Amino acid sequence: MTIGKATARYEEWIGRHLRLLPQDLELKHQHMRADVFSFLRATYYRWAQIWAKVCGDAARAPSVLAVGDLHIENFGTWRDIEGRLIWGINDFDETWRLPYTNDLIRLATSALLTSMGGDPKEGIAAIASGYLEALETGGRPFALAEHHPGLRAMATARLHEPEKYWEKLHALSDVGEGPPADALKAIERMMPEQRLSWRIVHRVAGLGSLGRERYVAIAEWRGGSIAREAKALAPSACLWAARGKGTAPIHYQELLDCAVRCGDPFVRVRKNWVVRRLAPDCSRIELSMLPEHRDEIRLLHAMGMETANIHLGSRKAQVLAKDLKSHPRTWLLEAARKMEKAVRADWEEWAG
């Protein structure tokens, strides 16, 4: 199946589960043409369709409740219930039970596509060693307030000018029509107090979820701005790739609840919406936001560890470590290179 046909069929399928916004969907298609990393981020449905066949033996591994759509820009920061700054995986829209190798291979492929880490062998080895280290130590959340000074410096570089973040949000236009009642109710329950006055704007963000309804409520509260976002959820693209019919559970909240994680108390799934607090320190970290001089090997190692933190919520460490050690030393690099080649071929076909 060509990438064009796969895209059309997936969009027809997901359109039966939620309302798609044509203008945002066209913007997504444009981003898919722009560069190969954007293409990877925007097309998890294609990955879900082909990865097991392309990767062969590497795709036969113990299953976990996996992120699915993992890549190097699916990491960010938030504040935990103690107010501490936490770093970790940011988004779980495509969570599904998969071989644990899916997340590692996709993360490694994204590193290859962006040349992150410089030498591919060293960068991919850092992901694998970080993953194994977390398995062997039982996992540990990344509390930046006390530990990980190098990672803290990278993660907080974007926080020096919070005014720009709020200026960008305030510049968004009000929505033309009111959001669905379920979205409004979910937002209201996440506000700091009842009967606040707010305005609703439409936010264009992400790539994998671009085209879905995404509403942001902005209010003034006790001396400053606050914002809450509601984003529409649908079953994982893995269901489509497996040619599943009907509906299926959305595992977003289940994964949040079981992972080795200092959770964000302002992230919650309400029916088919995920609601979260938006703030300069509660957002995804893009590569362009990182400081120019950064230790990318350290960062990839941390990403590997955080991936294990997620997987440890649904599978015993001994099972994963035993399987990981059974693979050849270069298995992850070899699998990532196969997927890099497949993704580039699809992108070149799509870009024309």
Q: Is the distance from CB of 281 to CB of 292 less than 8 angstroms?
A: no
Number of structural domains the chain divides into: 1
Q: What residue spans of 138-236 are helical by DSSP H?
A: 149-156, 162-170, 181-189
Exposed, middle or buried by CB within 10 Å (0-12, 13-18, 19+), for 166? middle
Cβ atoms of 177 and 202 closer than 8 Å:
no
Handedness of CA 186, 188, 192, 194 (dihedral sign): negative
**How far apart, in Å, are the Cα atoms of 191 and each of 68, 103, 229, 275?**
30, 33, 11, 10
Strand duo 283-284 + 198-202: pairing: unpaired
Tokens standing for 167?
Answer: 């200026």
Q: What is the pTM of this model?
A: 0.95
Q: Classify residue 188 by burial, with Cβ atoms within 10 Å: 0-12, 13-18, 19+.
A: middle
Residue 109: give the domain boundaries.
Answer: 3-351
From first to last of its 352 residues, the chain has per-residue pLDDT tens of 999 999 999 999 999 999 999 999 999 999 999 999 999 999 999 999 999 999 999 999 999 999 999 999 999 999 999 999 999 999 999 999 999 999 999 999 999 999 987 899 999 999 999 999 999 999 999 999 888 998 898 888 878 788 999 999 999 989 878 889 999 999 999 999 988 999 999 998 889 999 999 999 999 999 999 999 999 999 999 999 998 766 788 999 999 999 999 999 999 999 899 999 999 999 888 888 788 778 899 999 999 999 999 999 999 999 999 999 999 999 999 999 999 999 999 999 999 8
Say which residues have a Cβ less than 8 Å from residue 132's Cβ, sequence separation at least 6.
304, 308, 321, 324, 325
| The two three-digit tokens of residue 332, written as one number | 């992850």
Neighbours of 48 (CB within 10 A): 24
In this predicted structure, what is the pLDDT of residue 247? Answer: 73
In whole angstroms, how far apart are CA 11 and each of 130, 215, 273, 311?
36, 21, 19, 29
